[in-house]
Structure 1
């Protein structure tokens, strides 16, 4: 089986990079650690929000697609992204903070943890989860240059929820190929059953939740939908081993892809959800001063010769520290 170490990043879609930047930095207090472009379509921004260092396991990223329509939620989708905070007190802080911005927030208990459901302005489905009892994968380091107090800061990615029409095909890939193990069953307030799996050290940074909804239509993605979820692997050698495992299981994959900040491999599990495997390094400080991450447009070396053409297609986005 593969050797995975938890969630690496989640990538979603926004229709407006400037509004997205304002919400995730000013309201949620996350750090923009990389302002770059989608390497497969350089006409769109790719924004990475994370902890202070841009640590693997803390990155929530967005592709800007100007004409992205609304999302019609449904099956075969990544239907919830969660963000870690340190304690139950942090959950209470965030409920009050979000409501001060006129954002509805529902606090409940899930798996014995305090969680807070809410949506961003584009109806991105989000959940804050308390790490108070976490004994698994370590969280990131709070970003202190924000008005969110450090003890309450967002410090990483938590469980992702997948909505699928059938449990078994996705479960087989998670458990037989990717090394996940069953952890628990849980139930949402509306009575929906969740099947929960963890990998590596486990804990909030290494969980996948499956929601089985056979009657739903397939999701039609748009702004506020999730494009893919990435899982952590140690290095390129581990990616190569994962590729062989996928080939042996007759699952098509992208082969290794050089993203410069990490190495990747992509494949779709049987219910059609896009998974990525991504290495922990070399990281976002490869081409920028760690103190100035995200302030200018960063391009990997293989795109640098096209900088002038790329910048001409992008709407200017001021992300410099004031």
Structure 2
């Protein structure tokens, strides 16, 4: 049986959504490929950042809660997310992050040179010199040759869950086959759940971390023009009837200005 194809996306909690947007789009230059809501808590945004077209394996997503207490590392969280950048870009990123006042240090991840720094809400990030599947986005404030190329890995502390780590599968048949394997391990996977942009099976592994098997498609362009991804609030069809209430509950956000 075919195993997973690698990471699909990594999802973490954040604080203020505007600060999250300003950093990941305005400073790191990722593209906001989907502005939606937490389907289990529609009064909360779900923000998806990725490469130009939301290629599987490039998405870092957040549930921002403006009134969260200060960040503290603990079990069940993603305690570091490693992102791939071109090796020749480490100097560029060191200068850019310093210009934006981010504390950083040089280190190593997976035997490769890396820059280590926190995001505005305390999530540790590691920009690591490595190849990745990401496609440059022409409107990014970061030059194409220096842009983030995708996810490289994530470190998690196990037991209670505060963040999801998602693995990529080809399609629904692949997800269901792996679900049977999870059942054979004596775990309790969910049915295949429709997330509209992908389909997912969730299960809690023995250490207590919630894992997700997410299909490669249909993708983020299924309900938006590829040239306009992330520019408006998008809801899955089953939440459209609640749009007025959802929009009233969400704090207003604006996309950071271009140019960097």
**TM-score for both structures, normalised by structure 2:** 0.93
Match of 2:139 in 1: 145
Match of 2:10 in 1: 10
State how 1:33-52 maps to structure 2 within 5 Å.
Answer: 33-52=33-52
Aligned-partner SS, 2:163: strand
| CA pair 309-163 structure 1, distance change in 2 beyond 3 A | closer
Mapped to 1, the partners of 2:14 and 2:188 lie a distance apart of: 28
State how 1:84-95 maps to structure 2 within 5 Å.
Answer: 84-86=84-86, 88-95=87-94
Structure 1 position 64, deviation (Å): 1.8
Mapped to 2, the partners of 1:85 and 1:11 lie a distance apart of: 20
State how 1:1-322 maps to structure 2 within 5 Å.
Answer: 3-86=3-86, 88-131=87-130, 134=131, 138-164=132-158, 227-319=163-255
Superposed CA offset, 1:106-139 (max 9, x none): 11233331111100111111111111xx4xxx51
Contact 1:52–1:140, Cα closer than 8 Å, also in 2: yes
Please list every run of 5 or more consecutive structure 1 residues that lacks an aligned counterpart in the other structure.
165-217
Superposed CA offset, 1:49-108 (max 9, x none): 00000111110001122321123213343211111112x221121111101111111112
Mapped to 1, the partners of 2:254 and 2:99 lie a distance apart of: 26
Structure 1 position 321, deviation (Å): 7.5
Aligned-partner SS, 1:22: helix
| CA pair 274-289 structure 1, distance change in 2 beyond 3 A | same
Aligned residues: 258
Aligned-partner SS, 1:299: coil
Name which one, 1 or 2, has greater alpha-carbon Rg.
1
Contact 1:265–1:276, Cα closer than 8 Å, also in 2: yes
Structure 1 position 271, deviation (Å): 1.1
Mapped to 2, the partners of 1:72 and 1:22 lie a distance apart of: 22
Contact 2:71–2:121, Cα closer than 8 Å, also in 1: no
**TM-score for both structures, normalised by structure 1:** 0.76
Aligned-partner SS, 2:240: helix
Structure 1 position 22, deviation (Å): 0.6
